[in-house]
Structure 1
Amino acid sequence: MNFDVDTGIKLASFGLSVAAIVYSWFSSRKKDVDERFKEGSKRMDRHETRIAALEQSVQSMPGKDDVHAMQLEMVKQTGSLNEMRAVMEGNAKIMGRLEAIVSRHEDHLLDGAKK
């Protein structure tokens, strides 16, 4: 096997080119990767803060049992309001009868004074 100078120069230039490609890939990759990691870390910190705020909001919200208890209390209040309505209607009827009686008394007294 003969070693030709031209072949040696071609191999050396090819090797140098490959080395330059590998070096530039690793050097630019490291900077880009570090920057991406920093950006990703900041982003994850922001997400963690938002998630913590959401968890706190959700924990302070009423649960299923609380809503059910409120529904039961509202039903009780509706029943109480219905009872109050019935009593008020009864009172209104009594007042109507009393007004009729009072007006009859007034009529009798007024008419009796004329006779």
Structure 2
Amino acid sequence: MTIDLIILNQIVGVLGFCLAVVSMVFTFFATRSKATDERFKSVSDRMDRQERRVQSLEQTVQALPGRDDIHKVEIHVERMSGEISRIGAVLERVDRVMTRQEEFLLKGNQR
């Protein structure tokens, strides 16, 4: 009977040791998993913020005028420049006429 108690005591000791090792391994992996989950969550949050920034930039770029739009504006500006040149030439002639009329009115009919 004494031997049986010694063997039983040794078996309980080995089982306790095994239980402690299993508990330690489980705690190691559970803690590691939690830390990894937290890191994945923080990376996921950063990716979500980055995704929102990219979407905002895409919307801004889509709202910008394209090459064809800029070309159309350039053509209209050229046309307006030509029209302004023609108006300038007409105004020069009008200025000459006005100057002649002023001179005539200031000098009077001195002929």
Shift of 1:20: 8.0
Number of paired residues?
95
Aligned to 2:82: 79
Q: Say whether 1:97 aligns with 2:95.
A: no
Q: CA deviation at 1:96?
A: 1.1
Deviations 1:81-104 (A, max 9, x none): 111110111100011111222223
3-state SS in 2 of match to 1:62? coil
| Separation of aligned partners in 2, 1:92 and 1:59 | 49
Tell me if 1:36 matches 2:39. yes
Partner of 1:5: none
Deviation at 1:105, TM superposition (A): 2.1
Is 1:62 equivalent to 2:65 in the alignment?
yes
How far residue 56 of structure 1 moved from its aligned partner, in angstroms, is 0.7
Partner Cα separation in structure 2 for residue 96 and residue 77 of structure 1? 28
Unaligned runs of 5+ in 1: 1-11, 110-115
Which 4+ residue blocks in structure 1 deviate beyond 4 angstroms?
18-25
TM-score by length of 1: 0.69
Deviations 1:56-113 (A, max 9, x none): 111101011101111111111111111111011110001111122222325x39xxxx
TM-score when normalising by structure 2: 0.71
